[in-house]
Amino acid sequence: MDSHSSPSSKKVRSPGGSSGGSNNRGSGGQTVKFARRTSSGRYVSLSRDDIDVPDEISGDYMNYTVHIPPTPDNQPMDGSVAVKAEEQYVANSLFTGGFNSVTRAHLMDKVIESEVSHPQMAGAKGSACAMPACDGKVMKDERGVDVTPCACRFKICRDCYMDAQKGTGLCPGCKEPYKMGDDYDEVSDYSSGALPLPAPDDSKGNMSVMKRNQNGEFDHNRWLFETKGTYGYGNAFMPQDGGDERNEGIQGGVIETMDKEWKPLSRKTPVPAAILSPYRKRLLVAIRFVVLGFFLTWRLQHKNEDAVWLWFMSVTCELWFAFSWILDQIPKLCPVNRSTDLQALWDKFDMPSPTNPTGRSDLPGVDMFVSTADPDKEPPLVTANTILSILAVDYPVDKIACYISDDGGALLTFEAMAEACSFADLWVPFCRKHDIEPRNPESYFSVKGDPTKNKSRSDFVKDRRKIKREYDEFKVRINGLPDSIRRRSDAFNAREEMKMLKHMRESGADPMEPIKVQKATWMADGTHWPGAWAVPSRDHAKGDHAGILQVMLKPPSSDVLMGGADDKIIDFTDVDIRLPMFVYMSREKRQGYDHNKKAGAMNALVRCSAILSNGPFMLNLDCDHYIYNCKAVREGMCFMMDRGGEGICYIQFPQRFEGIDPSDRYANHNTVFFDGNMRALDGVQGPVYVGTGTMFRRFALYGFDPPNPDKGQKVGSEMQNLGPSDFDPDLDVNLLPKRFGNSTLLAESIPVAEFQARPLADHPAIKYGRRPGALRQPREPLDAATVAEAVSVISCWYEDKTEWGDRVGWIYGSVTEDVVTGYRMHNRGWHSVYCITKRDAFRGSAPINLTDRLHQVLRWATGSVEIFFSRNNAVLATRKLKFLQRLAYLNVGIYPFTSIFLVVYCFLPALSLLSGHFIVQTLNVAFLIYLLTISICLILLAILEVRWSGVGLEEWWRNEQFWLISGTSAHLAAVVQGLLKVIAGIEISFTLTSKSAGDENEEVYAELYLVKWTSLMIPPIVIGMMNILSIAVAFSRTVYSAIPQWSKFIGGAFFSFWVLAHLYPFAKGLMGRKGKTPTIVFVWSGLIAITLSLLWISINPPKGGTPATLNGGFIFP
């Protein structure tokens, strides 16, 4: 038999994990202690000696795995009850811990007030333990059926069973040694792809006796010959039909995959030549570039001697605009389109075959991250709907793991997620049964149109009514959670006060002394919530609480679990009722630590998921961005698993938004960026990372360089298994704790994640792949030591003296950590891919209120300024960053500084009208030709971009309008704040953008008309009022002058009207719907406009209005 130790094989988990490693940190380091709470509430310490692997077992032997198929002499050991007991304990326990604190597992018999029925969920209903004076629940299997370890069917809980096993080993019911009942025999595991060995005919008697050789040993050859059985992957492979074992394909792999025609999973589709040729061949760009050069040269050579200051300001602005245009335009010369083949993906990874009769998927695992921080600004109902859309995604259930990071540590979020898991018991199978899209219940029930379209089942209407009624009740429970938690906490606190008062009376204390009882927040099981309380106190505040980890949905079984007609209120016959793994996480927070906002939360999710599930790919979503296309993950996997996919660091999906006003007043859809700029970068080195809707390769996020097949030696057609030092020559394996922290499990998971993320080596051109079938083995069940290790890696001290946030994970030091993180990966030579699907992959919400929109843009622009003044400036990039990609990243850091010149340029028309001068002394034919040519080229370029990107003209114009609005407000403030941070070290703080929960009684676009004062409004208001005032002054002066110069007035007013046209959406936002503009807006704007006007008059007092004084002014032809 062939044995191997490839990273694809599950490592033997070292329960010590970081605990063992923490001993090397010194006396002041973290020590993880394991404690289990019994059903009676007593904490039992778990000794290190009970869980450590013996020292004499070396690492080589620990990682050595041999797969032997079940034969009469090799039947699975009876360990199912112990595994189920441990998994049951983990699923029903809330783990807490942190720096210098004990890691505790709090057994929760009740997670939420409502009843829980799904067997995977914590706190699911079950039978009571039959042991006297025990209130525990009986263990359950995947269907929720009671697991009775003994054939006598004596019902016993997990803790009592463990006590009996450690004690006498006898069943408390029949007083006999434990013997497994027939109904719970272990099912043979064919996870590695091996065929089940056929059973002999009854007439042949006992096969295990007949197939023995003369020495009394089992004759494997005779067994295989007479039963025509085969061994699976990782063992000796017997080719069928006379196949040649020396096939050029994968050794020990699936032979029939080599007989199929190889198909690519993705393709690049070029933009039509008629559209792109003038664009790609740089015809229009070159013409405009040349004409722009001549124009600027002419402007520099022809000064306006009557107004040199006006000429100087205009020329300076025009030079900067030309530079900014080049940075924006050059990277957009190579746009590409991409397409995927989902059928080819299914044929390659999910199709049943003789060696995979059950059709177990060979796709890699995906860990999905959702982050939230404040349930007041991010409604739990919105987050719950996002979680439901993830749990219902069309991807192998056992390959999905969903994690939510609650940075606020709020019980409201915790119980809302538990309610979502409970509702998922109905919603997820309903989506699978009727192929529902979208799988966000709020969005699905809000879709207008015929819901029965393309539905073939006759019971769809009945099922839809039932699930709609259940969802309405679910919303009522979610929306009622704040009051429910408050009433529950008040009741328990009142009870504690009564106990305290009774104790004082019994002890003879002064009854007039005030009672001091902490106003705690209580969970549904009647215990203190370990996170933040409604009334903050020490160790229970938003910035000061223990780390919390709850496996709300334990990992599902690897085999399909079909529902029945009577299990639920809906008939789920022939429907898979399993749910993906779901974990609630709230990292530890302590005063005095810099927790690095969202980036720190994402890195905690990366470490936690590496310990629990270690999916080689990760998908991160904001709490208000849900999966709109259930096949989106498969679409992204087509690129990762295709030829050349090993060099892709992430797949970026475009952001699409709902709830935007039909006119898109503030360019919230941002289609020019997502459908134009991002698609163009896809033809260079890939799009930038924009914070959400991104599928990452875990190995790339760990800070390693992309793989180089030339460094490895080929073994057959598969690359040699490589370790971390093979990808980074400067990385010493002994120094892994310095980079990744002291968790042993985390370090061991790195090569496993790298190996599992490789594409299949099923083509000679794929020099860096893995063998087919390597990922069909089931996931290991979770144990308490593993979860305790995950708690330790989310503690606030874990990142101390490591490279997390500097080289590994999300990068710290900027409010736009997403752009910096993507830049670091591109700078190491990785590529990214832009995946635009026919049906939007994800959808989310965006602020339609003017103030919220400006603050959002302010945060982005401030991050860009920080990038410009940091070592992440593209000027300092390595040679691995392509030239055009370097220009794109350089533009990211420079674009906010355009606001300085834009503000000046917007004041020039007003100054021109007030002063009676223009930017040029006299109009020249050359000037007009240059100006006309530049304008025509700009219009043609815009039309071409609109055609190949699919952006509408109205969307393009909205983008131009908001570019001026944001450039004169948020971008200018970002430059000021960025300079203050760089020069004076003043930190910048931002508040979360509020998300709307969509009240049914509230008008859809009510926020659009809400006016909230912000100082960001002052500059554009002043610009608008100055231009209006200058038009009025110039008009009055022209009317009352002896010789009216109407051509001069019209020429100057034209540019003022051009500025005002761009500010039109801003003006509408100020007006609101009912004239609710704050008075302070007009007071400040009026005062500033009058002050500027008086200042201008004092600097340049008006001279006589005679015609002689007007010579040299603007003369409109």
Secondary structure tally for the chain: helices H, strands E: 37, 21
The identity of residue 541, as a single letter, is: A
Residue from 407, 463, 622, 642 carrying the catalytic annotation: 407
Using CA atoms, how far apart are residues 1019 and 859, in angstroms rounded to an integer? 18
Q: Which residues contact 829 (CB under 8 A, 6 or more apart)?
A: 647, 705, 706, 880
Using CA atoms, how far apart are residues 68 and 45, in angstroms rounded to an integer? 37
Backbone dihedral angles phi then psi of residue 618, each to the nearest 5 degrees: -135, 140
What 3-state DSSP class applies to 308?
helix
Give me 579's structure tokens: 């749910």
Q: Which residues contact 328 (CB under 8 A, 6 or more apart)?
A: 677, 891, 895
Using CA atoms, how far apart are residues 149 and 153, in angstroms rounded to an integer? 7
Would you call 622 a catalytic residue per the annotation?
A: no
Cis-peptide into 729, omega within 30 deg: no
Between strands 547-553 and 93-97, the pairing is: antiparallel
Give which of 587, 797, 783 is closest to 34, Cα–Cα: 783
Instruction: Report the run of H or E that residue 277 belongs to, with start and end.
Output: helix 273-280
Place of tokens 């003044």: 869
Are the C-beta atoms of residues 399 and 361 closer than 8 Å to each other? yes
Q: How far apart, in Å, are the Cα atoms of 34 and each of 39, 91, 787, 789, 887?
A: 16, 16, 10, 10, 52
Backbone dihedral angles phi then psi of residue 1005, each to the nearest 5 degrees: -110, 40
Among left, alpha and beta (phi > 0; psi -120 to 50; other), residue 54 is beta
Using CA atoms, how far apart are residues 637 and 1054, in angstroms rounded to an integer? 53
Using CA atoms, how far apart are residues 18 and 798, in angstroms rounded to an integer? 10
Are the C-beta atoms of residues 735 and 597 closer than 8 Å to each other? no
Q: Angle at which helices 898-915 and 1018-1040 pack, to 10 degrees? A: 20
Using CA atoms, how far apart are residues 120 and 141, in angstroms rounded to an integer? 9
Instruction: Report the run of H or E that residue 831 belongs to, with start and end.
Output: strand 831-834
Using CA atoms, how far apart are residues 170 and 168, in angstroms rounded to an integer? 5
Would you call 818 a catalytic residue per the annotation?
A: yes
The beta strand positions in 378-523, using DSSP E, are 400-406
Using CA atoms, how far apart are residues 455 and 458, in angstroms rounded to an integer? 8
Query: DSSP assignment of 605-621, as one string?
Result: HHHHHHHHT--SEEEEE
Using CA atoms, how far apart are residues 875 and 889, in angstroms rounded to an integer? 9
Residue from 622, 664, 762, 818 carrying the catalytic annotation: 818
- Positive/negative CA dihedral, 1101, 1107, 1113, 1117: positive
Instruction: Report the run of H or E that residue 469 belongs to, with start and end.
Output: helix 460-479
Q: N- to C-terminal Cα distance for the chain?
A: 93
What 3-state DSSP class applies to 648?
strand
Give which of 609, 600, 605, 559 is closest to 581, Cα–Cα: 609
Give me 259's structure tokens: 């007989």
Give me Rg for the CA atoms of the chain: 34
Residue 1067: alpha-carbon gap to chain centroid: 36
Backbone dihedral angles phi then psi of residue 340, each to the nearest 5 degrees: -125, 160
Give me 173's structure tokens: 């019911």
- In residues, how long is the chain? 1117
Positions marked active-site: 407, 818
